Amino acid sequence: MANDMSFEAVMARNTEIMKKSIGIDYEDFELKGIGFDYEKMMKETGYDLEEIERIQRETGVGNTPILELRNLTKLARKFAPKGKGARIFVKDEASNPSGSFKARRAATSCYHAQKLGYKGVIAATSGNYGAAVASQAAMRGLKCIIVQECYDSRGIGQPEIVEKARKCEAYGAEVVQLSVGPELFYTFLVLLEETGYFNASLYTPFGIAGVETLGYELSKQFREKEGKDPDVVVVTNAGGGNLTGTARGLIKGGAMGTQVVGASVSLQGLHMASDTQFNKKSFTTGHTGFGIPFATWPDRSDVPRSAARPLRYMDRYVTVNQGSVFYMTEALAQLEGLERGPAGNTSLAAAFKLAQELDKDQIIVVQETEYTGAGKHIQPQLSFAKENGIEILIGDPSEEVPGENIILPKGPEYIKIKEVDLNRIRRSYIRNCIQNNNVKEVTKEDINFLAEDTKSSEQFVKSVLDEFQVKY
């Protein structure tokens, strides 16, 4: 008898479909109450760091170079207080086969899929991960389907997403393009069930473990090059996997004193699931529309428990405006001779300002770059914004209103960052845990989990529980 393919029925089979498509029973990690055993789940990959490095080397992934941005450092020092202006470096992840750090995630997932005998892989993504999965699948002889949230109801797609579809297809993947809305996850589940392919999700332990090599390499390379670990690593934050994997790798490399800073493009006021607002933004990833929701509730992802837990590792979280990222993209090209896409340049814009707070002998690292292509360039992005009623201005970026205008800084001294209150994010996460689990009382084990998952303290967790009148 055929399965009921109604939206409600497919969503109800979510856990069953996931178990078959990943080979992981997430119930094995659940604790009584709110929490789950995160480290046990991460060990479920069955691969240690050395094995993952070997897997990635087989397909030319990893061991990417560190580049010092000397000219941008000089520019930052012009606007820094005396004695300030840290050296700015970038890890050039664009040199990976598919042009981004996400090749690390995809390499591990596709290797595991091949090892388990799956005939193909599926990923739901509008970003660089699709190209990474398609590339790695091709190398492993696997079929590949990429599901994209691409269009609004008028059938108009963003240049950057359309460019990524082209790249996926170039690697031989089938691309299923959808309009914005709840059909993305439904379609993803239906395809997993119908094909029996492996779920190469961004948020499995395999994907996050693949990024650990990035952080580990950073620590190793700086010890060899500079004799010490970097002082600050800035990570573009969206779904949280980039930050989680990099931070875990830094820890495994012994870089315990390195500060991990998340950076996102501020799209405050725009709703990511809104059809009318979908094309009002000029950034498809690395923005607060993903960064904030996934930090406050990581398990909203396409697996029962996300391995991307950014609050566990984030020391600081800042935002930059859209115009500043466009500005730094041009600055990187014209001052350093490196043409790269917007994802890594989100962190670069933040790092340029953060460097001015640090001493001259300190090191700040932008931990990724991404390839650039037709739809990722500044001109098509700004032209698309104009077509959608966005005003392009030159002035003070702090006056930018997402969805209404994009303000390019009138000079490098106008590049600014805005602090995100991490305690507010932590509070929201704890509130979501309470509400989504419908609990009125928590255990000591729950409190310990919440403290670990928010990188806070038992005292902080209890203060939030008191606020929501939850017993402990």
The pLDDT tens digits along the chain (472 residues) read 578 888 888 888 888 888 899 989 999 999 999 999 999 999 999 999 999 999 999 999 999 999 999 999 999 999 999 999 999 999 999 999 999 999 999 999 999 999 999 999 999 998 899 999 999 999 999 999 999 988 888 999 889 898 999 999 999 999 999 988 778 888 999 999 999 999 999 999 999 999 999 999 999 999 999 999 999 999 999 999 999 999 999 999 999 999 999 999 999 998 877 888 989 998 888 999 999 999 999 999 888 999 999 999 999 999 999 999 999 999 999 999 999 999 999 999 999 999 999 999 999 999 999 999 888 889 999 999 999 999 999 999 999 999 999 999 999 999 999 999 999 999 999 999 999 999 999 999 999 999 999 999 999 999 999 999 999 9
| In contact, 197 and 119? CB cutoff 8 Å | yes
Take residue 333 and report the two structure tokens written for it: 């090209």
| In contact, 101 and 212? CB cutoff 8 Å | no
> How many other CB atoms sit within 10 Å of the CB of residue 82?
7
What is d(CA 394, CA 379) in angstroms, rounded to the nearest whole number?
15
What is d(CA 136, CA 171) in angstroms, rounded to the nearest whole number?
9
Strand order in the sheet with 363-366: 66-68, 87-91, 363-366, 232-236, 259-265, 316-320, 418-419
Residue with tokens 């699709």: 130
Ranges assigned E (strand) in 152-225: 174-179, 198-199
- The residues, ordered by sequence, that sit 6+ positions from 149 with a Cβ below 8 Å of its Cβ are 124, 126, 161, 178, 179, 180, 181, 184
Query: How confident is the model at residue 8, as a pLDDT?
Result: 87
Query: How confident is the model at residue 103, as a pLDDT?
Result: 98
Take residue 310 and report the two structure tokens written for it: 């950014």
Global confidence as pTM: 0.96
| In contact, 312 and 452? CB cutoff 8 Å | yes
Helical spans, DSSP H, in 198-321: 205-226, 241-252, 288-296
